[in-house]
Structure 1
Amino acid sequence: MSDEKILKQLKASRGYAKASLTRLYQFAHDGQEIEIATLSTLQAKRSRVAEIFSEYEGYNKQILAYDEYDTEDVADGESKYFLILSAINEAIKSKGTPCSDDGNPAFRTKLPKIEIQPFCGKYSEYTPFINLFRAIIHKDRAIDNIQKLYYLRTFLQKEPFDIIKNLPLQTGSYEEALRLLDERYNHKFKIVNEHINSLLDMNALVKSTSSNLREFVSLVKQCLASLKNLQVNTETWDPIVLSILFRKLDSYTSRAYQLERSTDSDPTVLDFLAFMEKRALALENAAPLVAGKPPRAVVNIAATPGASSCAYCKSSDHKLFACNKFKVLPSAERIKIAKEKELCNVCLNIHRNKCKFHFRCNVCKQAHNTLLHDDEQSPNQITLISNTQTDRVLLPTVKIKLYSQNGTEVHVKAILDSASQVSLVTSKVIEVLGITPNKDGTTIVGVSNTNNVAKYSVPLEVFSLATPYRPLQPCFINTRFGHVIAGALPQPTNKKSSKVSLLCLDCKSDLDETLQQFFETEKVPEMYTEKLSEHDLCENSFQKTTVLKDNKFQLDTVTYGQKSSSFLATRCLHELATKYKEQFPLASYILSYCTYVDDACYSHSDIEVILEAKRQLIKLLGKGSFFTHKWASNCQKILEGISLDKQQFDDLDLQKNNVYMKTLGLTLNVAKDFFSRPKWRDSVPNVKVGDLVILREPNSPPLAWPMARIIKIYAGLDNKVRVLDVITPNKRIYKRSLSGICILPLE
């Protein structure tokens, strides 16, 4: 229909409304007619004049949208409306009934405003939302379609808003928006499924209190009533629904129901819900009131002038944990005061219930406040000298390369014994190599002339992991200790002259320096290569079994255990970043390059970019049903719009000075915006020559770790000592890092 025809129809409708308004004007100014009119007639005409004037104004607004030069005298219509209104009110007042402005009795109670809850895309909430919207806004003829479209946009969030946000703001777009929403969310099958899933996903009753039972019954009734309103036949569902509900009950409630129900007939849902309500009422009536304890009142958290907050100095400016006078007291006296005043050992406050804080002592890591740590405890006695003998000795080890029967390379660890004339190998290595041993009866004589018989022997070739050296014949090898001769000796032709000797004419190397170099090169570096085939297998499995559907990642197979959960979680985040990279570029960049496990850290010099990144990140994670929490920032503007329970820091008294949070494996100072390692926060004095230490040995129990003394330290550019030389009681010198020793107190 063209604009001219629409304009013509609107003007005709406005003319009809104006004519009706004129007739009512003539009625109001006809003294005889208004005098004989009954009270009900006056009230009906009063309501009618309000409807006509509302229609008249609506037509004027729509006509102005098509013809801004319309010559209608709107002031004349308004004056007629007010004259009619005043005349009818006077007539009603004269008949003895006071009236309000809307023509209804003045004593009518003012009803609260009806609020329409926003619609976020949940199928089960669409029908109540659209019905209420149609009743309040859609049927109001005083509002044009453009205004109705605007109101509709304000009540939509997330995906529903995205569906209609690109529609132009014009008259025809309103009906199109209603059609798009109806096509997207008015699906009876999905709505029924959501109500059934709400029954299946109900939380189990852990404790049968009256409030829990009533909440349980309310949710069941709500789901069944919703299914009945959708014209779903649930009359034969009682066995299925009862089976679902029985799984949610605790053992006591389930046993009580089975004992009370009648066994002459089959149980029904109505009988079950009646039992639950009866049990909830019984629990409420049986709950005794504690004598002498008044009901709990609501406490306003506000400091009253003159009220004492500190339990020690009675000052209202601070709490006990911040009292400087309390801090300087000896530890024994602080503990005594806390016991006398019956203070909580964690928060130093007075309360009867369990403390909601979980602080630990910074010194001993026990569950009490650091101010209550006993500093005067006698230190543990440490034995520096022991007369016990030990059979532990140090033997040089090396990693060597062997080849199995099928040619596979195998790395094993060997012990070097220069005084031995034979080489021994364990049976486990032979099994790994897959070599069949030969029967043998060689006698091996030990140090104390003990005889042992080797039953089997195998031919093995030993290869180096560092050089292509192959011990086929004696050769010179250049090592960090100098040139050495190694290899198999040739078999002599004359067994009588089989003496072979190696003579060193001049040895200038220092023995301590040689041993030091030996221990520096003792450990063979371990090489770990990633197997790309495993990554490819995981990626192929993810692509085949995981699908993003209805903002949720769903698995087509059943996974066993929790080992795959970390890979699936991080892989799902990567999938979101890749799939929606064009739509959310900032959020995609954050998930790809600024996320460690489940922590995301992002910074920018422009605050508007940060705000846009926050918005994109919330929307992108929402598409995979990931929800953010523990927000923290050095700018309060960024945290606007985020509820307090989703922020890292709250407004508790004990956490006002707590600006540290753990993220990315480090500690972040949110106020000063820098990272630090917790154990490096406090300055620790350097070790010095002469300190007594214990050497850490990962392969030995702590009680067997050897003692040593520092003889040399190596300071870095920051004057911090991290490497040092130690000497053991048997005069052996080792170079160790600071993390490889335990410093012993000398006092």
Structure 2
Amino acid sequence: MAAEDIKKLIAARGQCKASMTRMERFLQQEPQLFTVESLNTRKASMNTVFQKYQDVCVQLSVLEPEHHKDDLDDDTEDRFYSIMTALECALNVIEKTAQQNTQTAEGTGKAARLPSLDIPVFDGRDVALYKSFIEMFEAVVHRDARIPVVQKLCFLKKYLKGEPLQLIDNLPIIGASYDSALELLKKRYDNPALIISSHVNTLLDIPALHRGTALQLRDMVAKVRQHLTALQNLEQPVTSWDAILACILLRKLDSFTVRLYHSERDNSEQHTVSSLLNFLEKRAAVLEASPAGSESSVQDYKIDVDCAIVPKITSAQPQQAIDLAKLILPNAITLADDEFNVPGEVSLLLAERLRQALRIQCC
């Protein structure tokens, strides 16, 4: 029976040594393959193995003293301490690396603050604004490698509202959702046909000018140039639209500005949008250089007028307020006085001959 026990103890001692051999092979791997959890588990396992090894040796020394002499010459104890030292060093390296990564991540989080550049909020109501929005977002956020992907998704949601935000709002806040959100927005709004249609409709819907002031003319020119440039970037043949577009824009101008344009242009040449816009810019510059209050002047003219100054010309005209809802006014006329229906003082009374003279000068 003793011989059988000795065989079992010798086999158990061999298993303990085999476990140490496997641990030594494990420690020969690349350090980046180690994890804190695996090293701590193997460290605890080694302690158990070595404790078992010592117990087996004690039992063998009692049953068979000769085996105890062999244990005195064994290097198993040295191997155990070498293994434990290697495990401890590997753990220290991992912990130090993790600490450095944490410090780097904190520094990156501070550096990932957006620059002081305002990104316009995109609400989806004007699909033509999508291109400018997404290109600015990509320049400021998307291409910044310092910003984590999840944070990019949060920034994207921050600059959306209305329908675009609803489109991606249910996506989970994880890194994989960022590319999905960009793809959803691209499928919905990066539609060249819709964008072209939006620019064309905006050109057609430019409000008509009732008075050709410098501010109104410059605003109109800016809008037309903006949308024509956008259409050119979308590879639309805008230069071939001159005949149609020039006529459309002329109908948006006040009658006096149209007369000036026709009086200055060469009637033998075809209308071009470029020449019309250049004229409007020149006209706006002239109006801006004119003295305040002179924008209503139609031509350079001079006339001598004999005036009679009296305390009062007449009573307020009209004597009673007029209900505009009861009047049928043509849509195509421009009123000289937008408040003609409101009673007011008469400051100047022109004789018929003077009105005729001024009418001739204005026409």
Are residue 242 (structure 1) and residue 246 (structure 2) matched? yes
Q: How far apart in 2 are the matches of 1:288 and 1:161?
A: 48
CA RMSD, aligned part only?
2.8
After TM superposition, give the deviation of residue 249 of structure 1 in Å.
1.1
Q: How far apart in 1 are the matches of 2:100 and 2:204?
A: 64
After TM superposition, give the deviation of residue 229 of structure 1 in Å.
1.3
Question: Residue 126 of structure 1 aligns with which residue?
Answer: 130
Q: How far apart in 1 are the matches of 2:196 and 2:240?
A: 16
Q: How far apart in 2 are the matches of 1:278 and 1:257?
A: 11
Are residue 170 (structure 1) and residue 194 (structure 2) matched? no
Q: Tell me the matched-pair count.
A: 197
Question: Residue 205 of structure 1 aligns with which residue?
Answer: 209
Q: How far apart in 1 are the matches of 2:99 and 2:116?
A: 31
Question: Residue 190 of structure 2 aligns with which residue?
Answer: 186
Q: Secondary structure at the match of 2:240?
A: coil
After TM superposition, give the deviation of residue 143 of structure 1 in Å.
1.5
Change (3 A) 1:286 1:236: same
After TM superposition, give the deviation of residue 76 of structure 1 in Å.
4.6
Question: Residue 115 of structure 1 aligns with which residue?
Answer: 118
Question: Residue 283 of structure 2 aligns with which residue?
Answer: 279
Q: How far apart in 2 are the matches of 1:288 and 1:212?
A: 16
Residues 462-473 of structure 1 aligned to structure 2 (within 5 Å): none
Change (3 A) 1:240 1:181: same
Q: How far apart in 2 are the matches of 1:162 and 1:72?
A: 44
Q: Which runs of 5 or more residues in structure 1 are unaligned?
A: 1-10, 13-69, 81-101, 103-111, 291-365, 368-747
Residues 633-712 of structure 1 aligned to structure 2 (within 5 Å): none
Residues 141-152 of structure 1 aligned to structure 2 (within 5 Å): 141-152=145-156
Residue-by-residue CA offset, 1:619-675 (whole Å, 9 max, x unaligned): xxxxxxxxxxxxxxxxxxxxxxxxxxxxxxxxxxxxxxxxxxxxxxxxxxxxxxxxx
After TM superposition, give the deviation of residue 287 of structure 1 in Å.
2.4
Code of the aligned partner of 2:201: N
After TM superposition, give the deviation of residue 199 of structure 1 in Å.
0.7
Question: Residue 256 of structure 1 aligns with which residue?
Answer: 260
TM-score w.r.t. structure 1 length?
0.25
Aligned-pair identity in percent equals 39
Change (3 A) 1:288 1:130: closer
Question: Residue 223 of structure 2 aligns with which residue?
Answer: 219
Change (3 A) 1:263 1:177: same
Runs of 4+ in 1 over 2 A off after TM superposition: 70-80, 287-290
Q: Secondary structure at the match of 1:119?
A: coil
Are residue 73 (structure 1) and residue 108 (structure 2) matched? no
Code of the aligned partner of 1:215: D
Residue-by-residue CA offset, 1:443-469 (whole Å, 9 max, x unaligned): xxxxxxxxxxxxxxxxxxxxxxxxxxx
Question: Residue 236 of structure 2 aligns with which residue?
Answer: 232
Residues 403-442 of structure 1 aligned to structure 2 (within 5 Å): none
Residues 580-595 of structure 1 aligned to structure 2 (within 5 Å): none
After TM superposition, give the deviation of residue 187 of structure 1 in Å.
0.3
Q: Which runs of 5 or more residues in structure 2 are unaligned?
A: 1-31, 34-93, 105-110, 295-319, 322-363
Q: How far apart in 2 are the matches of 1:246 and 1:213?
A: 12
Q: How far apart in 2 are the matches of 1:124 and 1:181?
A: 13
Code of the aligned partner of 2:289: N
Q: Secondary structure at the match of 1:236?
A: helix
Q: Secondary structure at the match of 1:284?
A: helix
Q: How far apart in 1 are the matches of 2:95 and 2:131?
A: 43
More strand by percentage: 1
After TM superposition, give the deviation of residue 141 of structure 1 in Å.
1.2
Query: Please, which of 257, 262, 266 is the counterpart of residue 270 of structure 2?
Result: 266
Question: Residue 160 of structure 2 aligns with which residue?
Answer: 156
Residue-by-residue CA offset, 1:397-426 (whole Å, 9 max, x unaligned): xxxxxxxxxxxxxxxxxxxxxxxxxxxxxx
Change (3 A) 1:76 1:164: closer
Q: How far apart in 2 are the matches of 1:181 and 1:153?
A: 11
Code of the aligned partner of 1:188: P
Question: Residue 93 of structure 1 aligns with which residue?
Answer: none
Code of the aligned partner of 1:114: L
After TM superposition, give the deviation of residue 142 of structure 1 in Å.
1.4
Question: Residue 140 of structure 1 aligns with which residue?
Answer: 144
After TM superposition, give the deviation of residue 71 of structure 1 in Å.
3.7
After TM superposition, give the deviation of residue 237 of structure 1 in Å.
0.7
After TM superposition, give the deviation of residue 247 of structure 1 in Å.
1.2
Change (3 A) 1:189 1:77: closer
Change (3 A) 1:72 1:154: farther
After TM superposition, give the deviation of residue 266 of structure 1 in Å.
1.2
Residue-by-residue CA offset, 1:447-497 (whole Å, 9 max, x unaligned): xxxxxxxxxxxxxxxxxxxxxxxxxxxxxxxxxxxxxxxxxxxxxxxxxxx
Q: Secondary structure at the match of 1:73?
A: helix
After TM superposition, give the deviation of residue 154 of structure 1 in Å.
1.0
Residue-by-residue CA offset, 1:14-51 (whole Å, 9 max, x unaligned): xxxxxxxxxxxxxxxxxxxxxxxxxxxxxxxxxxxxxx
Q: Which has the higher contact order (CA 8 A, sep 6+)?
A: 2
After TM superposition, give the deviation of residue 232 of structure 1 in Å.
1.2
After TM superposition, give the deviation of residue 223 of structure 1 in Å.
0.9
Q: How far apart in 2 are the matches of 1:186 and 1:79?
A: 40
Residues 290-309 of structure 1 aligned to structure 2 (within 5 Å): none
Change (3 A) 1:78 1:180: closer
Residues 41-56 of structure 1 aligned to structure 2 (within 5 Å): none
Q: How far apart in 2 are the matches of 1:78 and 1:178?
A: 29
Code of the aligned partner of 1:218: A
Residue-by-residue CA offset, 1:563-619 (whole Å, 9 max, x unaligned): xxxxxxxxxxxxxxxxxxxxxxxxxxxxxxxxxxxxxxxxxxxxxxxxxxxxxxxxx
Q: How far apart in 2 are the matches of 1:261 and 1:162?
A: 52
Q: Secondary structure at the match of 2:285?
A: helix
After TM superposition, give the deviation of residue 77 of structure 1 in Å.
6.7
After TM superposition, give the deviation of residue 73 of structure 1 in Å.
2.9
Question: Residue 682 of structure 1 aligns with which residue?
Answer: none
Code of the aligned partner of 2:122: F
Residue-by-residue CA offset, 1:658-716 (whole Å, 9 max, x unaligned): xxxxxxxxxxxxxxxxxxxxxxxxxxxxxxxxxxxxxxxxxxxxxxxxxxxxxxxxxxx
Code of the aligned partner of 1:73: T
Residue-by-residue CA offset, 1:148-190 (whole Å, 9 max, x unaligned): 1111111110111111111111111110111111000000000
Residue-by-residue CA offset, 1:39-66 (whole Å, 9 max, x unaligned): xxxxxxxxxxxxxxxxxxxxxxxxxxxx
Question: Residue 47 of structure 2 aligns with which residue?
Answer: none
Change (3 A) 1:79 1:254: closer
Q: How far apart in 1 are the matches of 2:165 and 2:179?
A: 15
After TM superposition, give the deviation of residue 264 of structure 1 in Å.
2.9
